[in-house]
Structures are given as structure tokens and as C-alpha cells.
Chain A
Amino acid sequence: AAGVIQSPRHLIKEKRETATLKCYPIPRHDTVYWYQQGPGQDPQFLISFYEKMQSDKGSIPDRFSAQQFSDYHSELNMSSLELGDSALYFCASSSGSSTRTSGNTIYFGEGSWLTVV
């Protein structure tokens, strides 16, 4: 069965550069979530989208932006990268409105590892 696909799996960038991570949800899933987990840190929810609209916002820095496209894939854009942005970024997808239906099964990708040097 198709899973959540994230790309690239690994990325190395220099400080002040820009990075873009992509997330392809499971087919027919319309909700995408982004998380950030720094080394030895708790995962942090960044942002989520439902039907191409932002549905929830967490601790996403102003330097970051994200969107969900018409084919439901999502991209996380990170600018002016800092060393502290080095982390595992993973996205997840589910189907149905996350605000209408409780407990929809959510599927996670394997994550994209960003290293800022």
C-alpha cells in the first residue's frame, strides 16, 4: 500500500540558505501535518493543512512557510536557515476534516533529515 512519501530523505544546507521539503500524502488523503524534531528534543508540531487551506498552526518560525497544492502534496519552505534548524522533519496525512471527525487514522512519513552547517 502507498505510504506518505517525503523528499528528500536527507539534506545538507549552509547557514542562511533556503531549503524546501516535500510531502506526498497517501492517495485520497486531504490533510497534511508537519512536525519538527531536533536532536534529543521533543517533536514539535509546526503546521497542518486541510483541503489546501491551513487548518492549524503550531510553533512554526516566521522564516518557515508551507502550503498544500491542488494535488494535496505539501511543501515546507525554510529560509535563512540557522544551525538550530537541523532536525528531522516529518509529515503525516489523514483523510477527512481533522476538525469534524475524531480519531482519523494518521499516517506518518519516514521523515526528512535536514542538517545545517
Chain B
Amino acid sequence: EDKVVQSPLSLVVHEGDTVTLNCSYEVTNFRSLLWYKQEKKAPTFLFMLTSSGIEKKSGRLSSILDKKELFSILNITATQTGDSAVYLCAVEIQGAQKLVFGQGTRLTINP
């Protein structure tokens, strides 16, 4: 059974801290891994990762994929209260054309 597991499920930090969110997966046929941020509206897409070891970066956010160890991390540096959200990880299954999502990590940034 295809599975995506995120950790931690919940995280509370102070503004300015750096956080690392984890996503591990066990799937039959990996195609890509995606990260989403969900605030008060529909989730917004952050990163799509297909190659191992290549970091993707957008401002204070970065993400990397390890296809050997079957995991990805999402880093947020110098966190701000606006980073408070649920962060979702999903894996696209090659051939089955489907996405398998993790449970999400609820990140709270306190001022």
C-alpha cells in the first residue's frame, strides 16, 4: 500500500526560529514529491521534487529529496507568523496517475 508519512504532526516555535518538516514515503512507483502550504484558503503549491539531492529554494523556504532513503524535508528559516499553516506533502505515483498525501504538519509561529 502506498504511504506518505509526515512528521511532526504539529509544531509550535517562536518567530525567527528555523524549522524542518519531514516527509517519508513508501510507494510502488515514485514519480514526484510535492509540498503544499494551506492557510485560510485552498492549499498553495510550494515545490515539486523529482531528482534526488537537488535543493529547491524559494525565499526562506527550501526543500530537498532523498530518493535512496525515501524522504524529503522542507526547511523554513527566520520564520514569521505568516508561515503558520498546515504543510502538506504528497507523492505522485507513476503510472497510476494519483497523488498520495501525508497527514500534514500544523506549524504555528508565535510572535
Determine if B90 and A108 form an interchain contact, defined as CB atoms under 8 angstroms apart: yes
Tell me which residues across on chain B come within 8 A of A92, comparing CB atoms. Answer: 42-43
Give the CA-CA distance A105 to B39 in the complex, in Å.
Answer: 10
Number of A-B contacts (CB under 8 A): 67
Determine if A106 and B38 form an interchain contact, defined as CB atoms under 8 angstroms apart: yes
Given A102-B39, A102-B84, A103-B86: A42 in contact with B99 (beta carbons within 8 A) = no
Determine if B99 and A98 form an interchain contact, defined as CB atoms under 8 angstroms apart: no
Determine if B85 and A90 form an interchain contact, defined as CB atoms under 8 angstroms apart: no
State whether the Cβ of A45 lies closer than 8 Å to any Cβ in chain B: yes
State whether the Cβ of A74 lies closer than 8 Å to any Cβ in chain B: no
Tell me which residues across on chain B come within 8 A of A102, comparing CB atoms. Answer: 39-40, 84-85
Determine if B98 and A98 form an interchain contact, defined as CB atoms under 8 angstroms apart: no
Tell me which residues across on chain A come within 8 A of B41, comparing CB atoms. Answer: 48, 55-56, 98-99
Give the CA-CA distance A33 to B103 in the complex, in Å.
Answer: 17
State whether the Cβ of A88 lies closer than 8 Å to any Cβ in chain B: yes
Given A103-B86, A105-B104: A88 in contact with B42 (beta carbons within 8 A) = no
Tell me which residues across on chain A come within 8 A of B104, comparing CB atoms. Answer: 105-106
Shortest Cβ distance from B88 into A: residue = A106
Determine if B84 and A103 form an interchain contact, defined as CB atoms under 8 angstroms apart: yes
Determine if A42 and B43 form an interchain contact, defined as CB atoms under 8 angstroms apart: no
Tell me which residues across on chain B come within 8 A of A58, comparing CB atoms. Answer: 42
Can you report 12 residue pairs joining A to B where beta carbons are below 8 Å apart? Answer: A9-B98, A33-B43, A45-B42, A45-B43, A56-B41, A98-B40, A98-B42, A99-B40, A99-B41, A101-B40, A103-B86, A110-B98
B contact residues vs A (CB 8 Å cutoff): 34, 38-45, 48, 84-86, 88, 90, 92, 97-101, 103-104, 106
| Contacts A37-B92, A48-B41, A103-B40 supplied; 18 other A-B pairs, CB < 8 Å | A9-B98, A43-B45, A45-B42, A55-B41, A56-B41, A88-B92, A88-B97, A99-B40, A100-B40, A102-B39, A103-B84, A103-B106, A105-B103, A105-B104, A107-B101, A110-B99, A111-B99, A113-B97
